[in-house]
Amino acid sequence: MSRLTLPAGEAARPLRAWVVFRGDAELAWLRLLRPGFRHCFVVLHDGWRWITLDPLAPHTEVAVPPVPAEADLPGWFAGQGMTVVPAPVRRDRRRPAPWAPFTCVEAVKRVLGIHARRVLTPWQLYRHLTRSSA
């Protein structure tokens, strides 16, 4: 798999990630989930730019917001009333992730390299991430 090349003289920077949890529900059945934790998406920062990956029901939205690299995008989401949790990015796994239905949680787990089979809902993902970082 090819990788993007860095600008001349630039060193690789670690990929940082945050998971953003939202309480709104575009689908009626999502209202069965815990309030405040009905949807999740991931925010990435590669040192030069912000990237968001938002797995919605009709499509997955990938965006590079037009904000400076030094902006506090996770803080902005938190200021909008969303719950934001820093998350480690694992790239050391060699086995495939366990099979699971495609949901926002599964998409975020794949981006982060999480292979926790029993993490199925946004609330469970939140608990997994906050237990792991404690």
pTM: 0.85
- State the amino acid at position 132 in one-letter form: S
Give the list of residues 6+ apart from residue 108 with CB closer than 8 angstroms, or none. Answer: 19, 40, 41, 42, 53, 55, 114, 125
- As a whole number of angstroms, the distance between CA 112 and CA 44 comes to 10
Which of 6, 49, 56, 47 has its CA nearest to residue 26? 56
Predicted confidence (pLDDT) at residue 27 exceeds the cutoff of 50? yes
pLDDT of residue 2: 43
Domain boundaries, the chain: 16-88+96-133
Instruction: Please indicate whether residue 95 or residue 3 has the higher confidence score (pLDDT).
Output: 95
What are the beta bridge partners of residue 51? Answer: 44
Task: Kindly indicate the confidence band of residue 7, based on its pLDDT and cuts at 50, 70 and 90.
Answer: low
Question: What are the pLDDT digits (tens) for 45-72?
Answer: 999 999 999 998 889 999 999 999 999 9
Phi, psi of 73 (to 5 degrees): -65, -45
Judged on CB neighbours under 10 Å (0-12, 13-18, 19+), 101 is exposed
Task: Kindly indicate the confidence band of residue 30, based on its pLDDT and cuts at 50, 70 and 90.
Answer: confident
Which of 57, 60, 24 has its CA nearest to residue 42? 60
Share above pLDDT 90 across residues of the chain, in percent, rounded to a whole number: 65
Sign of torsion, CA 105 122 47 62?
Answer: positive
